[in-house]
Amino acid sequence: MSIGNPQDYLLTLNINKEGEVKNALPGVHVTPCYLNPEAGVWVIYARFDADTLLPRHYHTGVVHFYTTAGSWNYLEYPDDVQTTGSYLFEPGGSTHTFSSKEGTEGFMVVEGANINFNEDGSLMFIMDASWIEQALHAVAKQTGQTVPRYIKPNANNDFSDKAKNNPNV
């Protein structure tokens, strides 16, 4: 009797081997881990250069952020600096502005979208799993980079490069 979904191999990545898309946004370097536009979930490892300031944004869903190096904070919460080893849970509906003076990096698990605003409060753009996937491919193509493989759920759950017979490619 088989229980669960049998797998021919584990869907696992090593960010140190996969690489990243440099300057996916200015000063933000992204290793996609899991992009699921249908479920609205995205998992990335991101490195932020020193003096990175991202647009003020609103989260439609929850965010989990684990800081692995450096430090950062939200401008709205200057006393709550996130440092190496910090885990932050952000409920859906939160609004804030990311800032890193020294540079930082970490894993993010995001459900839903970030609604990003211009300084005057008008809509800048909406960032979700689909937008991230399209943006990474566009930046990589424009700059001659390669998008690292990532887990891309579909009917069979596989890697973005469909390396089904050789998952270590």
pTM of the model: 0.88
Coil, strand, or helix at residue 36?
strand
Residue 150 covered by a domain: yes
CATH number of the CATH domain containing 124: 2.60.120.10
Query: From the first residue on, what is the mean pLDDT of each consecutive set of 10 residues in the chain (169 residues)?
Result: 76 94 97 95 98 97 98 98 98 97 98 97 96 96 96 77 53
Q: Give the Cα separation of 88 and 20 in Å (integer).
A: 23
Is residue 4 included in any domain, yes or no?
A: no
Query: With contact defined as beta carbons under 8 Å apart, do 99 and 50 qualify?
Result: no
Looking at the 3D structure of the chain, how many domains does it have? 1
Q: How many residues does the chain have?
A: 169
Within a domain: 7: no
The answer to whether residue 56 sits within a structural domain is yes
Give residue 147's domain range: 21-159
Predicted local distance difference test score (pLDDT) of residue 165: 47
